[in-house]
Structure 1
Amino acid sequence: MTTVAATPAKDTERRGRRAIKAARTRANIEAAALRLFHEQGFEATTIDQIAKAADIAPRTFFRYFPSKDAVLFGDLSEELDHVRRALDERAEDEHPMRALAVAMLDGAERIEADRDQHLMRAELLNALDSTGEYEMHLMRQRWMQDLTELVAEHLGTDTSCDPRPGAWSMTMVSCFGAAMHSWLTRRDGTTLRTILTEVLSSTAGGLGEAAQQARDGAHPRTQT
């Protein structure tokens, strides 16, 4: 029997189909979990219940999420991969903050497709007890640390003596957080990408003026 070798085009097509299927399964797990968290509480919901609601085996759940906490707080490792790809795809002489902006604007478009789901997640996070709040704080700290290290690696610098990766990462994450909060609370139909673009633009303008003032050695203007 003659075996027909797979062509690169067919391999690419198969990988594309697998990626679409994986994304659909992941979205179903996330939707089922958030619905159960909302209906019966985060602590009372088990992974077995989530798997049953998503019509998957419990072991399949762990292929997509390491824990139910990762569903509630979001899988930051996936977002870090998006940032890593954005940094790798940009020119070496381009400012890392530009690459971070590209990654976050792309993320904004992905998030916009699931506004109701993100509203539900925001409500659940706001209702966390002190233990949950502390866990969320730790996850955000780890995310910031990982992002800072990623930017430092791209620059070829050491965060112990170079404050720039940390400063840039904190600035961009703060801009995204502020835009996200505004998007979830507004009801005028403005897209997250539009809000984020406005926040980034105004922040960049303010930082530019602050930097110019520092270079000029000028004192802040005071009102009389």
Structure 2
Amino acid sequence: MNSDPADAPIRVLVADDHPVYRDGLVRLWDDHPRIRVVSSVGDGRSALSRLRQSPPDIAILDLQLPDLGGLELVETITREGIETRSVILTGYVDSASVFRAIAGGARGYLEKAASSDTITDAILQIAGGGIVISPGAQLGLAGELRTQQAEPRPVLTSRELDILNLAADGGSAQSIATELHISVATVKTHLQHAYDKLGVSDRAAAVAAAIRRGLLT
């Protein structure tokens, strides 16, 4: 994070695959006295490369980015100890995504429908050490916390947990198979068993459910 005086510019990366919205944020802060956009990218891989090369103070991440989604980026920032505060800025608010973002280390979960002033104020608060979650996302988070306490923890095998952890990092079935020295078919079989135990039907839902129930970190 910035070690300069309190009035130093807040260096921001914006990652959004909608160029009109992304460029709108850049223009919004063109003349702002505190906020300076240092990177503007349209996909997750480019965002991660910039984050690793020159970590900004704040990373504003769309939830649904090509190649690597916002949630995976949040978790990577936390796991790798990148000195950047991550913020999800999305048009979609679902309770599982809110929970996963905050559990993964995000310092904010904001809605694109919010006013430019609201988003700007949130960035300033987060840069100052705060956590900002939009009202709609707060409701979703509260619901997920209640669900987490009420739901039993299914027993996943160590192999199922290994595969889910790699899936949460964005690994494909092929890359997971290569890393674990097993076949793609075996990966898919373990994933299906995990889906059945978690009561879900796809990978994203399985990862979210496993995190919500405290099975993944």
| TM-score normalized by the length of structure 1 | 0.30
Greater fraction strand = 2
Greater fraction helix = 1
